[in-house]
Amino acid sequence: MGKLTLVPTPIGNLEDITLRALTLLKSCDIVFAEDTRVSKKLLDHFGIQKKIISFHAHNEHKALQRTISIILENTLTVMVSDAGTPGISDPGFLLVRECLKEGIEVECLPGPTALIPALIGSGFPCDRFVFEGFLPHKKGRMTMLKRLSEEDRTVILYESPHRLKKCLEQMKSCFDGHRQLCVVREISKMFETFHRGTLDEISAYFDSNEVRGEIVIVIKGKE
C-alpha cells in the first residue's frame, strides 16, 4: 500500500525549507508537482534527482485516478505545490480526499504558508481569524466582500498584483474607509513589505505606486 506525503516548499527564501522536507524529497519514489519546471529548480538547488509528474489545478479531476494508481504502485509519493503548503489555495484537496477514500495513508508536513506570517505581522488580533483565500473573480465577489465587511474576526485574503487596485476600490463600497488594513507583498523574499493603514490610505498608496509580487490582504475585524 502506498503513502502520500504533502511537503510544503519555500514561498520565498529557499532556506525556509525544513530538514524533514529535504529528507522526504530525497527518499521518496515520485514527486507530484503543480509545475514540474518550478519543482525541478527547487530539487536541483538541493541536488535532488527525482521523477516529477505534473498535478495542477487544470488537470486535477482528469488525473485523479491515474495519480491514485501511481501512489498505490509505489511506497512513498510526495506532493508539492509551486510554493507553500499543498491544498491551501493550491492543488491538493481533491487528491487527499480520494486517497482517504481508497484507504491510502496521508501525511502533511508543517511548513511555509503565506497567511500566517501576514496575519502575525499585521498587528491585528490573531486569536480568531477567517481565511478566505482568493475572492471569486466575477460572480459572487461583491456579495462576499459585503459579508466580510461585517466580520468581527481578522480576515485574510490572497490577491494577485494585477487585481489589487480593483479589489481595494471594490472594498470601498462595502467597508468604511477607516477600516484598518495590512497589505503584505513578497513574504520571505528580498523585497518583502508590509503596508499598514486605513482602507483609504492603502488604496491611495497603491493608486500611485506599481503593484508587484504575491499579495496577502489582512483586514481588521469590524469593531
Mean pLDDT of 217-223: 97
Phi then psi for 123, rounded to 5 degrees? 85, 0
Q: Residue 156: in which H helix or E strand, if any?
A: strand 154-159
DSSP state of 161: G
Q: What's the confidence (pLDDT) of residue 196?
A: 98
Q: Judge contact between 160 and 215, C-beta under 8 A.
A: yes
CA distance 38 to 183: 26
CA-wise closest residue to 9 among 76, 77, 85, 79: 85
Evaluate if residue 6 carries a pLDDT over 90: yes
The residue that leads in pLDDT, 137 or 148, is 148
To the question of domain 115-219 being in CATH 3.40.640.10, the answer is: no
Q: What's the confidence (pLDDT) of residue 59?
A: 72
**Helix residue ranges, H only, the chain:** 19-27, 36-45, 60-73, 93-101, 115-122, 141-149, 164-172, 199-207
CA distance 149 to 70: 45
| 18 exposure class (CB count in 10 Å sphere: 0-12, 13-18, 19+) | middle
Q: What's the confidence (pLDDT) of residue 63?
A: 82
CATH code given to domain 3-108: 3.40.1010.10
pLDDT digits (tens, 9 = 90+) for 30-43: 999 999 999 999 99
Q: Which residue carries 504533502 as its cell?
A: 6
Domain limits of the chain?
3-108, 115-219
pLDDT digits (tens, 9 = 90+) for 141-174: 999 999 999 999 999 999 999 999 999 999 999 9
Q: Which residue carries 523585497 as its cell?
A: 191
Q: What's the confidence (pLDDT) of residue 192?
A: 95
CA-wise closest residue to 129 among 160, 152, 110, 153: 153
- Assigned C-alpha cell, 70: 501511481
CA distances from 43 to 11, 15, 30, 177 (A): 15, 13, 12, 45
pLDDT digits (tens, 9 = 90+) for 54-102: 988 777 777 899 999 999 999 999 999 999 999 998 889 999 999 999 9
| 37 exposure class (CB count in 10 Å sphere: 0-12, 13-18, 19+) | exposed
Q: Cβ neighbours of residue 209 under 8 Å, at least 6 residues apart?
A: none
Mean pLDDT of 102-124: 96
What proportion of the chain, given as a percentage, has pLDDT over 70?
100
